[in-house]
């Protein structure tokens, strides 16, 4: 393996590579940096206003805020995907939360806390339902969570047809206020990512979840309760969807049944997780990579706005970039193996 021609003094690039490897930084951050640099160049030459976005703190903050809604739920999606499962019901859970919050709070500040608790309880029930159907009834996760999502959609559409109620303005500080220069919502996103990282990398539960996703039979033979482990991942995923729903409604002031599906939280959280380096087959990945995947999406949206790209073309470019990024991984892992 050792190359005969090893260069005597490592170049700056080599040292940077070693630094990145030693800290286990997911390769998606490389893609993030490339897209960031490309955005600056594009903005420089094709920007529709005079100011460069990197010098505009409002736009920079906006990139982060855009990432909050998708980022929180993508952390949950990362958990289930590490367990070799998937959750298509998150978009509907976001809708249920947004509508439920504005309906239950009905503009009253003193109803905020118990409403939040009720919605989290609903999230736990949805997660238990998903997990139980997958592990006990052995229904394919794709179908199980799609089914649960459609049931939620039906319940929601039967009860509400439009924006229902509103959240009190005190609750909107979640989306609009800041501590110093940092928006509260961004702090919440980083809090969720940190908690996710800690659970995956520091706790027994995290180690067991990787085992279930990597080799379910091997995990079972090692005495793990694989069903419980995967169900708990689904519970956490649904709870992150509830948090995303709360953030969305605090921005919109009122929830409608379509806010979750229009936000594409299901497919985009899966795409961000995969771009972040979590394997669709499970057992591998992490939340920091997912965060980079989410930032890539927000950065692209911001850049497309800056250079005034047509909305449909925007979607085409997004699709192409997802394919390129994932193709890059397959290519890379093949190169590493052989």
Cβ-based nearer residue to other proteins, 153 or 208 = 208
Cβ-based nearer residue to other proteins, 84 or 90 = 84
Stretch that binds other proteins, among 44-52, 112-120, 152-160, 210-218 (CB under 8 A): 210-218
- What gap in Å lies between CA 80 and CA 85, rounded to an integer? 5
Total residue count of the chain as it appears in this document: 338
Over the Cα atoms of the chain, what is R_g?
A: 21
Does residue 211 interact with other proteins by CB under 8 A?
Answer: yes
Among 86, 219, 232, 325, binds other proteins (CB under 8 A): 219
Find the shortest distance in angstroms from Cβ 222 to other proteins.
Answer: 4
Q: What does the CA dihedral 188, 192, 195, 196 come to, rounded to 10 degrees?
A: -170
Stretch that binds other proteins, among 8-16, 43-51, 67-75, 201-209 (CB under 8 A): 201-209
- What gap in Å lies between CA 203 and CA 201, rounded to an integer? 6
Q: Interaction with other proteins in 249-288: which residues (CB under 8 A)?
A: 283-284
Find the shortest distance in angstroms from Cβ 268 to other proteins.
Answer: 25
Which residues on neighbouring strands pair with residue 104, listed in sequence order? none
Q: What angle do CA 183, 233, 83 make, to 5 degrees?
A: 115
Coil, strand, or helix at residue 182? strand
Which residues on neighbouring strands pair with residue 183, listed in sequence order? 178
Stretch that binds other proteins, among 25-33, 198-206, 304-312, 318-326 (CB under 8 A): 198-206
Does residue 333 interact with other proteins by CB under 8 A?
Answer: no
Stretch that binds other proteins, among 29-37, 47-55, 108-116, 202-210 (CB under 8 A): 202-210
Does residue 214 interact with other proteins by CB under 8 A?
Answer: yes
Cβ-based nearer residue to other proteins, 27 or 107 = 27
- What gap in Å lies between CA 258 and CA 99, rounded to an integer? 9
Coil, strand, or helix at residue 99? helix
Find the shortest distance in angstroms from Cβ 308 to other proteins.
Answer: 43
Coil, strand, or helix at residue 255? strand
- What gap in Å lies between CA 99 and CA 97, rounded to an integer? 6
Does residue 3 interact with other proteins by CB under 8 A?
Answer: no
Among 218, 308, 319, 327, binds other proteins (CB under 8 A): 218
Would you say the C-alpha torsion 218, 220, 222, 225 has a positive or negative sign?
positive
Interface contacts to other proteins, rule CB under 8 A: 202-205, 207-208, 210-211, 214-215, 217-219, 221-224, 283-284
């Amino acid at each position: 393996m050792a190359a005969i021609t090893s260069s005597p003094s490592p170049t700056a690039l080599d040292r940077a590579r070693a630094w990145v490897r030693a800290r286990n930084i997911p390769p998606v951050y490389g893609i993030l940096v490339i897209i960031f640099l490309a955005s600056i160049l594009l903005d420089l030459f094709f920007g529709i206003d005079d100011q460069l976005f990197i010098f505009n703190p409002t736009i920079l903050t906006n990139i982060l805020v855009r990432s909050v809604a998708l980022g929180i739920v993508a952390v949950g999606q990362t958990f289930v995907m590490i367990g070799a499962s998937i959750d298509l019901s998150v978009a509907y859970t976001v809708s249920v939360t947004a509508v439920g919050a504005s309906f239950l709070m009905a503009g009253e500040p003193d109803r905020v806390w118990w409403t939040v608790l009720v919605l989290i309880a609903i999230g736990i029930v949805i997660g238990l339902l998903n997990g139980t159907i997958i592990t006990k009834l052995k229904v394919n996760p794709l179908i199980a969570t799609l089914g649960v999502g459609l049931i939620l959609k039906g319940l929601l559409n039967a009860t509400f047809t439009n924006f229902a109620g509103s959240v009190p303005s005190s609750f909107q500080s979640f989306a609009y206020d800041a501590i110093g220069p940092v928006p509260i919502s961004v702090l919440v996103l980083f809090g969720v990512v940190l908690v996710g990282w800690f659970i995956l990398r520091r706790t027994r539960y995290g180690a067991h979840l990787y085992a279930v996703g990597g080799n379910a039979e091997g995990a079972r033979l090692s005495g793990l309760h694989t069903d419980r482990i995967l169900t708990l991942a689904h519970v956490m995923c649904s709870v992150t969807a509830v948090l995303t729903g709360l953030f969305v409604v605090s921005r919109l002031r009122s929830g409608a049944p379509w806010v979750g599906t229009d936000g594409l939280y299901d497919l985009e959280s899966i795409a961000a997780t995969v771009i972040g380096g979590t394997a669709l087959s499970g057992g591998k990945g992490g939340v920091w990579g997912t965060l980079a995947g989410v930032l890539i999406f927000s950065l692209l949206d911001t850049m497309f706005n800056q250079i005034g790209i047509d909305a449909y073309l925007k979607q085409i470019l997004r699709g192409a970039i997802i394919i390129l990024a994932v193709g890059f991984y397959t290519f890379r892992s093949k190169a590493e193996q052989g």
